Structures are given as structure tokens and as C-alpha cells.
Amino acid sequence: MAARFLRMIPALVAALTLSGPAAAAKWESLFNGTDLSGWHQIGGGKWTVQNGTILGETGDGRYGWLVTDKEYGDFILELRFKTEAPGNSGVQFRSHVCDDKMNGWQAEVDPARGHNTGGIYEQGLGRGWLAPPPKNLDNVLREGQWNHYRITVIGAHITTHLNGVKMVELDDDRAVSGITALQVHSGDTPVRVRWKDIRIKDMGFGKGWIPLFNGHDLTGWVNHGKEKWTVENGEIVGEAITGEYGYLGTEKTYRNFVLRARFKAETQGNSGIFFHSTLQGTDIRGIQAEIDPTPSNMNAGLYESGGRGWLAQPNKDAQCLMRFNDWNDVWIICDRSRIVTYLNGFQAAVFDDKEPRFTDGVIALQLHSGGGVKMRFKDIYIKELP
């Protein structure tokens, strides 16, 4: 998140641990000890269940992952692992799969002492090691024995513990949610790792979220224009019927906030979520997080209407995650002069505004002109920042 918000993380972690979602959340087993229900395989490797353990192995030179069907935001993950061959392995978290390739964070597993077990590596996105473990902790790993891993992710704060010893701690805002996966590494060295006692304490996205949509009617919202806005099955449905612009805007204005929502396009027409905006009829001035249900069309990019046009185009890794004809998650963070967007959990665009033109205003759902647009929105929440 924004730098100022990142600096607040340690205090937020303490608050969550004492009285927030961490205290209320319950442990959930991710492995039933019998089969791989709740998981699916990607890439190379071989995954089987033997004697109440998951066995991951490969010798074909390809990466392989066993991936959770469910995605997670804030969580505590615990598991036990034992290496039975010299090859490298790891645990992916808040990660994303695009074209059968894994992108995201990995907590390292390496059977050789002093080889980074407990460190955090970024898979597939170019930054490499984010936090290798201190070398004076290289004896914490028990070679050829069962080891206990604990990975804690709350907000942008990440901590790993190996056999009860803190290994690394860092803040990073590249993702807000994603899958969890067990990995077998590529290369000529055989990999053979066993996993068991895999459980997670799912804390969602923390506390302080306020719903902007009650799931029943459009209380708190105003229709700007002649387009059709209705509520169906707990979803806001926007449908273009005149071919003109249409907006559904909040009654209240917002300045610094984190907004999250889900959207699904039922046609190819263009849409978006505006913020820091003012409306006179359908004449809007403000900033938009783009929504366009056609490939490579700037989803979650930042565009300023009534001003500078494109402020920040989204990166290609985020665009790859756009789910066509399905539900997508979008986050918008406005922290003073800094704006960050996320698409399906992955950071899409960042803009540090040196001379902001719009700093307060309504949030508005858009139907673009041209006709044929039909959009669905749900799970719209906001958390105001100081």
C-alpha cells in the first residue's frame, strides 16, 4: 500500500493480534490426509498422497505446483515439511497463475543448511530475493526431519518462522490476495518433499470495512443519466439503454480510502469505477479505474476525465489475470497523493500525483457511451484512511 500506510503496519498487526480478526478466525485444515480435494496441479511434478502426507517430486526438469482452489488475503499458514532429496522447493502465497506460470511470493524450502529456507523470494516477476534469512540462523533447518513452517501475512506485512524461530520480516505491497501453493523446483537435481498438517487461519482483509451497497436496494446511491440501474440477487446491475453515458454515484464524498469491489461484464462495452469525482448530469470530472471486458484494454489503469487523460496504464502481469465472463476483484487505494489499484489481488497501477487536480468527491460506477453495456457489481466496501 502507500508508504505512509506501510509504516502503520506494525501497530495494525499488534491490534489485529490482540482483538481483531486474528483472535476471531479459526484454523481450517487444507489437507484431509486422504486425497487432494481443494487442490489442483499446475506445471510439472508429480503429486500423490502417501500415509497421510502429500508427496511432491520431480525429475523432469520442470517447475510444478500444487495449488489451493481458494484464494486468501490476510492469513496465518502453518504446515510441516520433510525433504527426502537434495532439490529445491518452497511455499507460494498471495501468488497468481498466468498461462500456467506462477507469479508471486515464495517462502523457500532448501534441504541444504545455509541455503535460504525461511527466506522470501519473488517468483516470476523479476525482483528475486526480497528477504533472504540471516546466515546466523542456518542451523534452524532440521535436515531429513520434519520441520514446522509458519507464514503470517497481514496487510503488507509478512513474517516467516521456521521451527519456532523468526526468519524474516518485511513489508511489500505487490499483492493483496492470491493462491497458496506447494512447489517442486525445476533443474537436474531431483526433488522429493513431504508435507502434512497443513492449516490456515483465514482473516479475510482485516477490520474497519464499511459496505457501500446493502445488497437489497440503491440506498445511498444516485442515478446520473438515463441508463438503467437495478438490484438483482444481491448485485447492482447497470444496463445501457440509450447509448449515452450513465453513472451511479454515492451520495457521500470520500478523500483518503481503500475501496474494494467485484465486477462482471455481460457484454463487451466499456465501464469503470470513478472516485474523487463531481457530476453535473453525466458530465464527470475525476479519476477512473478502467474496466474493459476485452483483452489488453487497460483494466485497473488510471484515467483522469476532465483533465490529463491516462495517468497510469496497468502492467501486463495484472492484465493477464482479467477473468472474462466471470467475477473480478478490484481494489483502489487513495492515500493523499498516491493511488494504487489491484486487479484480482495483484498490483495493477501506481500513480504518485505531484499536482493532484481532484482530491475529494463521490465514487461512481460507469456505463460508457455507445450502448450495449451491461455490468454487474457486488461486495462493494470502503475503509477510510486518516
Structure confidence at residue 16 (pLDDT): 37
Residue 2: pLDDT over 60: no
* Residues 280, 189 share a domain: no
Query: What is the distance between the alpha carbons of residues 253 and 37, in angstroms, rounded to a whole number?
Result: 45
* Residues 42, 167 share a domain: yes
* Residues 53, 181 share a domain: yes
* Residues 181, 236 share a domain: no
* Cβ-Cβ contacts under 8 Å for 216 (sequence gap 6 or more): 231, 234
Least confident of 22-31, 234-243, 274-283: 22-31
- 378 phi, psi to nearest 5 deg: -155, 175
Give the confidence band of 285 by pLDDT, cuts at 50, 70, 90: very high
Residue 19: pLDDT over 80: no
Give the containing element (helix H, strand E) for 366: strand 362-367
* Residues 252, 122 share a domain: no
Structure confidence at residue 295 (pLDDT): 64
Selected residue with higher pLDDT from 294 and 261: 261
Amino acid at 368: H
Sign of torsion over alpha carbons 327, 206, 335, 234: positive
As a whole number, mean pLDDT of residues 252-267 equals 96
Chain-centre distance of CA 366, in angstroms? 23
Among the residues of the chain, which ranges form H helices?
Answer: 3-7, 9-19, 21-24, 316-319
- E runs forming strands in 281-354: 283-291, 302-305, 309-312, 328-335, 338-343, 346-352
* Residues 379, 320 share a domain: yes
* Residues 215, 178 share a domain: no
End-to-end CA distance of the chain: 14
| CATH classification of the domain holding 287 | 2.60.120.560
Q: Residue 135 has what DSSP assignment?
A: G
As a whole number, mean pLDDT of residues 190-204 equals 96
Domain boundary among 153, 172, 204: 204
Share of the chain above pLDDT 90, in %: 76
Residue 14: pLDDT over 80: no
Query: What is the distance between the alpha carbons of residues 242 and 245, in angstroms, rounded to a whole number?
Result: 8
| Confidence (pTM) | 0.91
Is residue 255 within 8 Å of residue 360, measured between CB atoms?
A: yes
Structure confidence at residue 114 (pLDDT): 65
Q: Specify the 3-state DSSP secondary structure of 95.
A: strand
Domain boundary among 164, 182, 204: 204
**Nearest residue to 160 (alpha-carbon basis) of 117, 111, 99, 190:** 117
* Cβ-Cβ contacts under 8 Å for 25 (sequence gap 6 or more): 201, 202, 203, 204
Query: What is the distance between the alpha carbons of residues 169 and 64, in angstroms, rounded to a whole number?
Result: 26
As a whole number, mean pLDDT of residues 176-201 equals 94
Structure confidence at residue 301 (pLDDT): 96
Residue 7: pLDDT over 70: no
* Residues 230, 186 share a domain: no
Residue 4: pLDDT over 70: no
Residue 297: pLDDT over 80: no
Structure confidence at residue 260 (pLDDT): 98
Q: 325: left (phi > 0), else alpha (psi -120 to 50), else beta?
A: left
Quote the mean pLDDT of the chain: 91
As a whole number, mean pLDDT of residues 337-344 equals 97
Query: What is the distance between the alpha carbons of residues 341 and 51, in angstroms, rounded to a whole number?
Result: 44
Structure confidence at residue 138 (pLDDT): 81
- 6 phi, psi to nearest 5 deg: -60, -40
Domain boundary among 151, 182, 204: 204
Sign of torsion over alpha carbons 271, 274, 280, 283: negative
As a whole number, mean pLDDT of residues 241-246 equals 93
Record the cell numbers describing residue 95, joined without a space. Answer: 501468488
Question: What b-and-e string marks burial along 177-198, b requiring 16 or more CB atoms within 10 Å of the CB?
Answer: bbbbbbbbbbeeeebbbbbebb
Tell me the pLDDT tens digit for each residue of 44-66: 899 999 999 999 998 677 899 99
Tell me the pLDDT tens digit for each residue of 341-379: 999 999 999 999 999 999 999 999 999 998 889 999 999
Q: What is the residue range of 57's domain?
A: 3-204
Structure confidence at residue 296 (pLDDT): 64
* Residues 239, 304 share a domain: yes
Least confident of 137-141, 174-178, 196-200: 137-141
- Between strands 246-250 and 362-367, the pairing is antiparallel
Give the confidence band of 23 by pLDDT, cuts at 50, 70, 90: low
* Residues 244, 196 share a domain: no
Structure confidence at residue 22 (pLDDT): 52
* Residues 217, 100 share a domain: no
* Residues 318, 270 share a domain: yes
Give the number of domains in the chain.
2
Query: What is the distance between the alpha carbons of residues 200 and 314, in angstroms, rounded to a whole number?
Result: 31
